[in-house]
Amino acid sequence: MATTMFEQDEDEEDINPFTMLLTQDENGDTKEHSTLHASPGVPQLQQHYIRSIDTELTIRQLPSQGLSFQLWPAATTLVNLPDDHRRDPRKGPLSAVLSAALDGPDRRRLKILELGSGTGLVGIAAAVMLGANVTVTDLPHVIPNLEFSAEANSKALTANGGNVVASALRWGEEADVEVIGPEFDLVLASDVVYHDHLYEPLLRTLYSLLSGRETTSFVRAHLRRWKKDSAFFKKARKAFNVEVLHEDTHSEGSRIGVVVYRFCGKQIRKLGLAKAENA
Ligand SMILES: C[S@@+](CC[C@H](N)C(=O)[O-])C[C@H]1O[C@@H](n2cnc3c(N)ncnc32)[C@H](O)[C@@H]1O
């Protein structure tokens, strides 16, 4: 059997996009998130106002087509952080991440990759707000909707010097990373940890993207739903330095809010873990 870089959990259960928006508090009680109240069969164009540039972005949700076609709660947090950064670049949790990527004599456009983009809001907003070259990625069947959303925001992108391309990137598929190329300053993702059979493929892709690139960070927003989510962190900490960058203020009556983490690959080589292609 091939060597694996991370241990794999056996726990496999069907995930339904609707129950996925349930969160579990520390007592094990579940709460429904408000994103879900739209009619599932109807394509929806959703507007998102970006305060720092006084611009509305548009994304298309197709809830009847599954969990890849709706906006998830953590995405909003990952749009708010660059919005805050743009308003005051010296403050805020993204400052250190972005200055690490941009410092040095070779000042140029940021290159950002988003994993599991879904509707694409996070990547498109980052491109617009940071004037960045962004590659939004997901499973192949999601790409046409990502292209639709990128096109819907072409005016805002051009006005702010940003650019978005959509490309298939299946977690754990080394060939997909090779096609896109690993040279990104920043990797973003929201709500990508939800099914334990995806933990290891996602970590392998992160390994390919961060390995040997000390200035590249993976910034990930996560709404904890189940206690088993912590297994992802346990595996991740074996290969990456993980720190909390930001925590949303919890809504009234809830002890759970979106948390934003930064992963860096500094210690990968020191740990002597197997390379992704051997996994
Ligand atoms: C819960 S949704 C989150 C979507 C979006 N990031 C958001 O926050 O609105 C998880 C996303 O991960 C994508 N995904 C799931 N498994 C994947 C895999 N093996 N490779 C690439 N993307 C995957 C799904 O298609 C989906 O778009």
* Pairing assessment for the beta strands 111-114 and 186-190 based on DSSP bridges: parallel
* Residue 56 scores a pLDDT above 80: yes
Per DSSP, the three-state class of 199 is: helix
Burial 256-279, CB ≥16 within 10 A → b, else e:
bbbbbbbbbbeebeeeebeebeeb
Give ligand 1 pocket residues (Cβ under 6 A).
Answer: 67-68, 71-72, 74-75, 116-119, 138-139, 142, 170-171, 190-192, 194, 198, 201
Which homologous superfamily does the CATH classification assign to the domain defined by 42-278? Vaccinia Virus protein VP39 (3.40.50.150)
92 versus 115: the higher-pLDDT residue is 115
Task: Give the lowest-confidence range in 146-150, 235-239, 251-255.
Answer: 251-255
* Residue 252 scores a pLDDT above 90: no
Q: Which residues contact 276 (CB under 8 A, 6 or more apart)?
A: 5, 174, 204, 205, 207, 208, 211
Instruction: Answer whether 121's CB lies under 8 Å from 153's CB.
Output: no
In the structure, what pLDDT confidence band is assigned to residue 234 with cuts at 50, 70 and 90?
very high
According to the model, what pLDDT value does residue 4 have? 43
* Rounded distance from Cα 72 to ligand 1 centre (Å): 10
Output the CA angle 54-58-62, nearest 5 degrees: 155
Ligand 1 atom with minimal separation from the 73 CA: 8
* Rounded distance from Cα 104 to ligand 1 centre (Å): 33
In the structure, what pLDDT confidence band is assigned to residue 257 with cuts at 50, 70 and 90?
confident
In the structure, what pLDDT confidence band is assigned to residue 220 with cuts at 50, 70 and 90?
very high
* Rounded distance from Cα 222 to ligand 1 centre (Å): 12
Q: What integer is the mean pLDDT of 37-41?
A: 56
Q: What integer is the mean pLDDT of 32-51?
A: 70
According to the model, what pLDDT value does residue 101 have? 67
In the structure, what pLDDT confidence band is assigned to residue 102 with cuts at 50, 70 and 90?
low
In the structure, what pLDDT confidence band is assigned to residue 8 with cuts at 50, 70 and 90?
very low
Q: What integer is the mean pLDDT of 110-132?
A: 97
The four Cα atoms 127, 131, 134, 136 give a dihedral, to 10 degrees, of 10
Where are the chain's structural domains? 42-278
Residue to mutate (ligand 1; options 78, 139, 204, 218; most atoms within 8 A of CB):
139
